[in-house]
Amino acid sequence: MKPVSVDFLASACGAQLLGSKTREVSGVKIDSREAGEGDLFVCVVGDINDGHDYVQGAYDNGCRIFLMSKAEVAARLVASDPKVTVFLADDTNVAFREMARTYLAQFDVRKIAITGSVGKTSTRTYTDAVLSTRYNTKSSQKNLNTHLGLCLTCFRADDETQVMVFEMGMDRSGEIAEYVDWIRPDTAVITNIGITHLERLGSREAIADAKFEIVKYFGPDNLLIYNADSDYLNEEEIIKRTGGNFRMYSVGTQEGCDLQLLNVTTERAGGIRFTLKTKDIALDYAMPVLGEHNAIDAALAVATGLTLGVPLTFAARALEGVKPNPRRMNAVKLGGVTIIDDTYNASPVSMTAALDVMDQIRAERKIAVLADMLELGELEEQGHLEVGRRIAKSTIDVLFAIGPRARAYADCASVNESIKIFYAEELKDLEPQISRMLLTGDVVLIKGSNITGVAEMAQRIRERLSWER
Kindly report, residue by residue over 297-343, the tens digit of the pLDDT.
Answer: 999 999 999 999 999 999 999 999 888 777 778 888 888 899 999 98
* CA-based max dimension of the chain: 72
Check residue 322 and report its DSSP letter. Answer: -
Q: How far apart are alpha carbons 171 and 192 in whole angstroms?
A: 15
Q: What is the DSSP string of 243-291?
A: ---SEEEEEESSTT-SEEEEEEEE-TTS-EEEEEE-SS-EEEEEES-S-
Element (H, E) at 188: strand 187-190
Q: Return the closest-CA partner of residue 307 out of 189, 395, 200.
A: 189
The pLDDT value recorded for residue 271 is: 86
Identity at 297, one-letter amino acid code: D
Percent of the chain with pLDDT over 70: 98
CATH number among 3.40.50.12660, 3.20.20.140, 3.40.1190.10, 3.10.450.50, domain 107-320: 3.40.1190.10
pLDDT of 255 > 70? The answer is yes
Q: What is the pLDDT of residue 269?
A: 61
Q: What share of the chain is helix, strand, coil (3-state, %, to 5)?
A: 40, 25, 40
Mean pLDDT of the chain: 93
Superfamily covering domain 330-468 = Mur ligase, C-terminal domain (3.90.190.20)
Helix (H, G, I), strand (E, B), or coil: what is residue 374?
coil
Domain boundaries, the chain: 4-98, 107-320, 330-468
pTM for the full predicted model: 0.82
**Virtual torsion, Cα 123, 128, 133, 135, nearest 10 deg:** 130
Contact (CB, 8 A) for 415 and 393: no
Q: What are the helix (H) ranges across 361-413?
A: 380-392, 407-413
**pLDDT category, 214, cuts 50, 70, 90?**
very high
- Report the length, in residues, of the chain: 469
259-270 pLDDT, tens digit per residue, is: 999 999 988 667
Q: Which of 439, 333, 432, 419 minimizes the C-alpha distance to 368?
A: 419
Give the Cα separation of 4 and 1 in Å (integer).
9
pLDDT-wise least confident of 251-255, 269-273, 338-342: 269-273
Q: Which fold has domain 4-98?
A: 3.40.1390
Cross-strand pairs, 29? 41
Q: What is the pLDDT at residue 211?
A: 95
Distances (CA, A) of 29 to 21, 153, 181: 19, 11, 23
In b/e form, how buried is each residue of 269-292, taking b as 16+ CB within 10 angstroms?
A: ebbbebbbbeeeeeeebebebbbb
